[in-house]
Every structure is written in structure tokens, then in C-alpha cells.
Amino acid sequence: MSGNKWNATHYDDKIGFVSLYGKGLIDILDPKEGEEILDLGCGTGDLTQEIGEFGAVVRGIDYSEDMIQRAREKYPTISFDVGDAANFHTSQPMDAVFSNAALHWVRDADGVASSVARALRPGGRFVAEFGGSRNVGTIISGVEEELTARGIDATSRNPWYFPTVGDYSSLLEHHGFRVSFIHHYERPTPLSDGEKGLDHWLDGFADDFFPEFEGEEKAEVYKGIKERVRPALFKDGEWVAGYWRIRVVAVKE
């Protein structure tokens, strides 16, 4: 989802599992009262609010103006700003930078690591989870096969950064972090709303692949994708996306 095309209402209503699965990451962050914490890629602010409930002084940044507007409406006492994860600055050093399900959208991973390191005080921690190697691989293959059959090179449209553990650990170490924990794990993710679940997922996350399609023509493309991936991903009346996540805790030296 490039640029500011995110639909905050669709995000909250149809793909709310993003925040739901992020709750466990807050336990790892273990926010303390009075800590200065930045939620990087905060979406509509649900997890930012939860972090603040621990007494931390929390703020959120997201690239999408629509997401930030919705976050401000939902949680008016929290500071939310539009910002680029690959190039942001904070007015003072932070105790922690937290990020859930956002950094795989930023191809400039080097810029992210540099910005996070700059934002943290020495000893500050970076706690993040995002898509890793193999993430939604079956869906991506289905999209690429369907678009290739229509004469479109889908590979060049892929908006995501899904690194291996080795790649990401090396990147963080290059920017002065000590990686204290990193885990690459499989997390099959049910998509709500039965047969329409994969449609909602494609609408919410994969719009970069389909810029020239609208209405009935787009529905036909979705139908073709679903036929290709159904044997692997449609189980007991619901779609289950093959998520693979990287969860990392790193300390700025």
C-alpha cells in the first residue's frame, strides 16, 4: 500500500487482527511508567494507547495521513504525527521504539535502522515485529501467476521487505545495536468474513499490484487468484493466510 492510500476504516473494521496480534509484543516491550516510547507505524493508534496505559509517555508516527487522522480522533490525548519510518527525528532521545506489523512496508530498511538508532538513548531498546522471509508466500505466488497470465509483471510491483533473520540481525548490528532476541516463526492467520476474507486482505494490503483494475474487472482478478490459492489456504469455510513473522529485541549500544 504505497503512499497514503491506507483506508483507516477498512483497517479497523476488516483487518483488525493486525492490532490484536500485536498485543503480545507489548508484553515483551514491558513499558514502564514515565518512559518515553515511540510507536513507529502506529496505524490507528490502538497499541499506542495500550502502551500509554502503563504510564509511559507515548507518541505515534505513521506514513498514512488517514491513519493518523483516525488515531487522533480515537485517542485525542496522545500525540500522533505523519512521518516516514526511514527518515524521522525525535525532539529528545527515546527509551524505546516499538513497531508492530509496519516495517515490512518500508523497502529502505537501512534508513529505518539508522533512524531508530538515532532516536534511542544509549541502552534504549527497539522492539518490533513484522513480516519475515516466506511471509504470505502462497498469496504472492497466486497474485504473480494471475497477473502474469494477464501479461503483467507483478514482481516489480511487490511493495514488501521480508528479510531473513541473518539479514536483519546483520543490519541492526551494522547500526550499533546488540540483538538480544530474534525469532522467525510461522503464524497462520485466519481472515474473517468467510469467502470474502481474502478479498478484504487483498483490498487492505495488496493494492499496489492492481492499479489498473477496478470494479468487475478487479473482482475477476481476485477470483482468479482465489482459484489458484484455494487448495492451500481455504480451510473449513475460511481463508487462512500463511504468515511468517520476525520478532526482534535489540539494544542500542
Domains of the chain (ranges plus CATH)?
Answer: 8-252 (3.40.50.150)
Element (H, E) at 206: none
**What integer is the mean pLDDT of 119-129?**
98
- Give the Å distances, CA to CA, from 240 to 39, 88, 100, 131, 194: 28, 35, 20, 16, 10
Question: What are the start-end ranges of the E strands in the chain?
Answer: 36-40, 57-62, 79-82, 94-100, 120-131, 177-191, 234-235, 238-252
Q: Could you tell me if 11 and 44 are in contact, meaning their C-beta atoms sit under 8 angstroms apart?
A: yes
Q: Is the pLDDT of residue 194 over 70?
A: yes
Question: pLDDT, tens digit, for every residue of 211-236?
Answer: 999 999 999 999 999 999 999 999 99
Residues sharing a CB contact under 8 Å with residue 252, sequence separation 6 or more, in sequence order: 117, 120, 121, 122, 123, 124, 125, 126, 176, 177
Q: Is the pLDDT of residue 96 over 70?
A: yes
What does pLDDT average to over the chain?
93
- Nearest alpha-carbon partner for 12 in 88, 73, 79: 73
Q: Could you tell me if 45 and 80 are in contact, meaning their C-beta atoms sit under 8 angstroms apart?
A: yes
CB atoms inside a 10 Å sphere around CB 217: 11
> Percent of the chain beyond pLDDT 90?
90
Name the amino acid, one letter, at 169. Answer: S
**What integer is the mean pLDDT of 91-105?**
97
| Nine-digit cell string for 93 | 532521545
Report the alpha-carbon distance of residue 84 to residue 146 in Å, rounded.
32
Q: What is the pLDDT of residue 3?
A: 42
CB atoms inside a 10 Å sphere around CB 30: 11
- Nearest alpha-carbon partner for 7 in 67, 71, 75, 72: 67
Question: pLDDT, tens digit, for every residue of 7-43?
Answer: 545 444 444 444 556 678 999 999 999 999 999 999 9
Q: Could you tell me if 177 and 127 are in contact, meaning their C-beta atoms sit under 8 angstroms apart?
A: no
Report the alpha-carbon distance of residue 199 to residue 5 in Å, rounded.
17
Q: What is the pLDDT of residue 151?
A: 97
